[in-house]
Amino acid sequence: MVKGLVGDNIGLNEEVIKKSCSLSFKAHKSTNQPYIYENFRTSSELTEYLVISFPGSWVETDWFVRKPFGETKIDLAQFPLLKSVGNDETALVNEAFLNRFDRLLKFSSIISEVNKAMAEGKQVVFAGHSSGAVLAILATFRALEENFKTHQIQHKSPMCVTFGSPLIGNHIFSHASNRENWAHYFIHFVMRYDIVPRIFLAPFSSIEKLFSSFLKLLTPNNNSEPSFTQDSIEDSVTCEFYSTVMRNVATVTSHVACNLMGSTNLLLETMTNFVELSPYRPFGTYIFCDGNGQLIVVKNSDAVLQLMFHIAQLRDLQQLSEVANKSILQHLAYEAELEESLGMQNVVYLNKLDNLPLSANDGPDTDIAAALDSLGLNLRARLCLRAAGELQKQKERNEEKIKKEINDKALASMSDLEEYKATCETNNGKGYYDAFKVQKEAKDFQANVKRLVLAGVWDEIIEMLKRYELPDEFEGKKEWINLGTRFRRLVEPLDIANYHRHLKNEDTGPYMNKARPKRYRYTQRWLEHANRLPKEEITESTFWAEVEELCSWMSNNKPFEDVKERVLKIEQDIKKWTDKGELTKDVFSKDPTFIKLWETLPHEHKSTSCISTLFTAKG
């Protein structure tokens, strides 16, 4: 079991959490301001904090803008890292929340104020309660993106703490934040029965008739206080709203649980062909407040989703009215709850999920067993949590498996191909590309065998990535980026040579348009992502495909002016790649394919070309 204060273990001091909570609720009383802020120091630290909190909204269109779930692709111009790298899948975000954030940026000076605070060495903390929390989340991502883009590693990374936040985006939020090592910057407190964090697991059509009434219950009155009390809540509204949302939560979590456990409920699968499931998923660190002073810390997003359903279950129907009322009352109870919970420091960390106790007497950690009992988690709930932990372990085992494949098969094959490449470039005759394309010698045949071995290993890796079967951090790891780049630069020219050797371009079309394998597209994106580079159409591993296309164009006696821009671009790129050592100049003096293109170019062009000095051949 993890020891120490909760603040020490989540990276945010308890005083900062309390201040963030207090300021978040204060923001609800300042709805005429886009945000409020406060500078302060804790009693135990020298760090100066700037806490910025945002008000919520009780306008329906600030929550939903379209049915069924109101999601849209996030703007990659603002949030370029909120995507999967290899799969090139853009994160989905609640459009109404994104619109609110855009208005915040347009009509406030928050970006300049945050940049100034970070430049002064302050620890910036974005905070929010309810729908104010979503602005805190997006502001934090925006600040993290700015740090990433400008390499401002000397600045303290911004943090985010939310209270009763609704879900904001799909699984890519969790995937990307884990990949960038950002997940620990997001801390979400959720009361056991608070309905708001669960709302977006239900389609808007199912709660549309009740949603306005629900928002009215949360709307501050003229005295800036909540407009309801325990006695004023309408049972008919709260019971129906709670029941409807939780039925949908049950459907989503059951479907995910089946996938986690590797089993398929045919009835559930059939149903999902007719019922669209919510795309929204949790991310970051969740801290569940059980209402009795205990805090349960969970970092696995699949486990968080399961807890969203299982800890809010009813013992019987007679309990519905009581729990439905709690689901709203608890939404505004965070200040009092955290004052008690952070004082008690009764904290349980659900880290080793795959070994979670299935009963009170199962396992040595009685604190965890007692916490699970207090949350009312039955055997199925615990099995779901174990499955979430086991899935993460399986992803780690998958990475170990492919590491073994790389060590057993790929590294030796790459070394053999590098030796083959060096031999082709130093001996008289054809260079690396054309020697492989002609396939006249035994060493060329052996090189082809190595190429196919490597293709098989890397295709297996790519298939796992497509199915998200590897750790989220995988594509951000330097060792895999370097290995993928080495593989791509070494082997892709051979794939292009093989493609043109068999004249597949005449049947299928250009290699880049129709035939480039995902194993090269993915590994190219990894490097571009790591080096903050824009996406390139022609790279140091694909320039041969462009050379072949230009050769074909010129051999058909097409006017040089028609391809002049493409020729200039490829020459500039080649100069850049050779200057960086990514290509060797011997390639261009030995490979007949490139010399063929060079010799067809107008003399006046060649005489001023930036790569003319790379050639030993005349032309």
| Residues β-bridged to residue 594 | none
Q: How many CB atoms lie within 10 A of CB 603?
A: 7
Cβ contact 291:212 at 8 Å? no
Cβ contact 437:497 at 8 Å? yes
The b-or-e profile of 199-231 (16+ CB within 10 A means b, else e) is bbbbbbebbeebbeebbebbebeeeeebebeee
Dihedral angle computed from the Cα positions of residues 581, 586, 592 and 594, in that order, rounded to the nearest 10 degrees: 30
Cβ contact 79:103 at 8 Å? no
Helices (H) then strands (E): counts for the chain: 26, 10
Q: Coil, helix or strand for 108?
A: coil
Q: How many CB atoms lie within 10 A of CB 448?
A: 16
Our answer to whether residue 365 is catalytic in this structure is no
Q: Active-site residue among 62, 194, 302, 573?
A: 194
d(CA 591, CA 418): 17
Q: What is the DSSP letter of 410?
A: I
Three-point CA angle 389, 268, 203, nearest 5°: 90
Q: Coil, helix or strand for 258?
A: helix
Q: Active-site residue among 188, 310, 331, 529?
A: 331
Our answer to whether residue 331 is catalytic in this structure is yes
How far is the first Cα of the chain from the last one, in angstroms, to the nearest whole number?
A: 74
HSE-up of 166 (CA within 13 Å, CB side)? 25
H-state helical runs in 233-295? 235-261, 266-272
d(CA 307, CA 299): 12
Query: Which residues fall within 8 angstroms of residue 422, CB to CB, at 6 or more apart?
Result: none
Q: Active-site residue among 20, 57, 130, 177?
A: 130
Dihedral angle computed from the Cα positions of residues 536, 537, 541 and 545, in that order, rounded to the nearest 10 degrees: -160
Q: How many CB atoms lie within 10 A of CB 565?
A: 9
- Give the containing element (helix H, strand E) for 92: strand 92-94
DSSP-derived pairing of the beta strands 294-298 and 285-289 = antiparallel
d(CA 94, CA 142): 16
d(CA 211, CA 59): 10
d(CA 37, CA 16): 13
**Which residues are identified as catalytic?**
130, 194, 331
